[in-house]
A and B are shown apart, each in its own frame.
Chain A
Amino acid sequence: GESVGLHLPTLSVQEGDNSIINCAYSNSASDYFIWYKQESGKGPQFIIDIRSNMDKRQGQRVTVLLNKTVKHLSLQIAATQPGDSAVYFCAENIRGGGGNKLTFGTGTQLKVEL
């Protein structure tokens, strides 16, 4: 399928290393944040979410960190595998009245080298 990641920032990591993908969000009223993974030819796939009353949340091999002071979000992937190669997007939302009007970041292409 067509590449999602044309002209996107790229992070290259060796298989087995940890990956850290960063995201700056724009709206100080945003109180819900999500990371999505998008493989070529597919729609975004939910990875992990975090609400603004938390600063860290862990899933399976993934951790999301939220720093509201500087409006920064990061996704950490432990022991990165070739199947993790994809474009990663952060998205923000205002839960109170925002419904599912997500605002997506520009994305980061993660390339896992064998």
Chain B
Amino acid sequence: GDSVTQTEGLVTLTEGLPVMLNCTYQTIYSNPFLFWYVQHLNESPRLLLKSFTDNKRTEHQGFHATLHKSSSSFHLQKSSAQLSDSALYYCALSGNNYAQGLTFGLGTRVSVFP
């Protein structure tokens, strides 16, 4: 079945530094959709950005990610982290059985310190 791997459980960094969250996936579907969701404390997850186009950079709210089908990756990056970026970030995949919904990774908690 489909799977998503996020290698970092926790990322801590100082405000103003760049951040990159890793995401790789497995699916037999040749045209998957990849998503990044963000969940702030005591809130529900909300969509940050998504893509299905190979090698095209997608940007939103200062974050960007590029889907690379050759390496099955969809890493999330931001050039300068802000305190408000502290949250839980989930990478998710819509693969072959799209009616079933998204397959989520385990999530990466980001803590940004002043």
A binds B: no
Residues in chain A within 8 A of chain B (CB atoms): none
Residues in chain B within 8 A of chain A (CB atoms): none
